[in-house]
Amino acid sequence: MAPSSSSLSRRVSPAQKHIHHFVRRRAEQPESRLHFPATRKYRSMEEIMKIAKYAVVDREDYSHVFCEQCHSDDHDDELLLCDKCDKGFHMLCLRPIVVRVPIGPWYCPTCSDHHHRHRPLKSFSQTKIIDFFRIQKCNESWGKCMSPQDARKRRRRCGTLVVHKKRRRLLSFTSTEDPARRLVQMGSLASALIALNMEFSDDLTYLPGMAPRSANQAKFENGGMQILSKENTETVEHCRAMYKRGECPPLVVVFDSCEGYTVEADGSIKDMTFVTEYTGDVDYIKNREHDDCDSMMTLLLAADPSNNLVICPDKRGNIARFISGINNHTSEGRKKQNLKCVRYSVNGECRVFLVATRDIAKGERLYYDYNGYEHEYPTHHFV
């Protein structure tokens, strides 16, 4: 049976998972101003004393620190200090904006090579795109390739026999017809992935030393997970097969000075369209507690938390990694949402899909709520 919209929203997940937050070198700052959730960061007094016995009291004074961008020392709880040059920067004065306090060392734009990585998006030749995305070549030329199944589906869509009860079915995305435009779309994704040193992967990946594939079982989900219907599974498989032929969803990655990489619709997308799966390396959350990757996605919330899984698109992934989150603290932010993040059991394994929640016009940016499930991700700085 196709899922109703309510079953979609009920299980909506996930939340990019952020476990630890702290204010860099500013222990005196009130946590509450950042609205960060209580975390497991706190050590017991016994633990602290064990370390404190040997610690030299740090009397460094950071009261002179101001922001290099706006030259103000207001909101000092949001000032990040560079771990190399010790200069200060407000999280909101940086470009792109830093939405949460980094977990590991942080280097300012001058001291890091980060700003070199955000080059304008390059264009790629067709051959390079075919290699990068490992597109399966077919007999006909790029863009002219359509399987009989596609032809049948397109005809069916043109027919007048619309079955009403099937309205909530997932729809396949419709690729842009113009092959040259598709090359631009895929080129934008390729250059964003290359800038982050990532490989393209349209699948969940399991690597030695991380969670094995056998750990990803929907039956471990606490309370159970909704099962993707047979016909929706076919739709998802159809979309994956299209992607393998270079028929990508009509999306383009753009670089925004505030938001960083973000994704825009490059054609219209209908409500309930399967836009993309969220892919990357699967790992246990417990292995990633000190990880600074800012786009981990919940995959499995098990009854036993040590079995919880996340998707980490830090080395491999697809366009899902670049889609922005809404600021779910404001109604303006919530209005922007046009995608929903849904977890399903597909043949017994958990998968995460991004699905359109309304018709999306060409040129609109894509947004979903990173906190669909756990409310752990600090979104109040999102534009």
Binding site for Zn ion (CB under 5 A): 67, 69-70, 82, 84-85, 90, 93, 108, 111
Give min distance, CB of 56 to Zn ion, in A: 24
Identity of the residue, 82 or 339, whose beta carbon is nearer to Zn ion in the bound complex: 82
Give min distance, CB of 89 to Zn ion, in A: 7
Identity of the residue, 48 or 258, whose beta carbon is nearer to Zn ion in the bound complex: 258
119, 246, 280, 297 from 277: Cα distances, Å: 26, 16, 10, 11
Identity of the residue, 254 or 383, whose beta carbon is nearer to Zn ion in the bound complex: 383
Identity of the residue, 108 or 275, whose beta carbon is nearer to Zn ion in the bound complex: 108
Q: Is the peptide bond before 96 cis (omega within 30 degrees of 0)?
A: yes
Give min distance, CB of 332 to Zn ion, in A: 23
Identity of the residue, 116 or 156, whose beta carbon is nearer to Zn ion in the bound complex: 116
Cα separation, 182 vs 45, in Å, equals 58
Give min distance, CB of 93 to Zn ion, in A: 3
Give min distance, CB of 84 to Zn ion, in A: 5
Strands 204-205, 88-90: pairing kind? unpaired
**247, 138 in Cβ contact below 8 A?**
no
Identity of the residue, 79 or 342, whose beta carbon is nearer to Zn ion in the bound complex: 79
**248, 186 in Cβ contact below 8 A?**
yes
Identity of the residue, 37 or 109, whose beta carbon is nearer to Zn ion in the bound complex: 109
Give min distance, CB of 94 to Zn ion, in A: 8
Which residues, 6+ apart, have CB-to-CB distance to 284 below 8 Å? 210, 211, 215, 306, 307, 308, 309, 310
Identity of the residue, 76 or 281, whose beta carbon is nearer to Zn ion in the bound complex: 76
Q: Which two tokens stand for residue 87?
A: 């200069």
Identity of the residue, 111 or 184, whose beta carbon is nearer to Zn ion in the bound complex: 111
Cα separation, 93 vs 98, in Å, equals 8
Please report where in the chains the tokens 């799966």 appear, as a residue.
277
Give min distance, CB of 100 to Zn ion, in A: 17
Give min distance, CB of 168 to Zn ion, in A: 47
Give min distance, CB of 106 to Zn ion, in A: 9
Identity of the residue, 78 or 202, whose beta carbon is nearer to Zn ion in the bound complex: 78
Give min distance, CB of 65 to Zn ion, in A: 11
Cα separation, 165 vs 73, in Å, equals 59
Q: Which two tokens stand for residue 79?
A: 């000032």
| C-alpha dihedral, 227 to 228 to 231 to 236, nearest 10° | -160
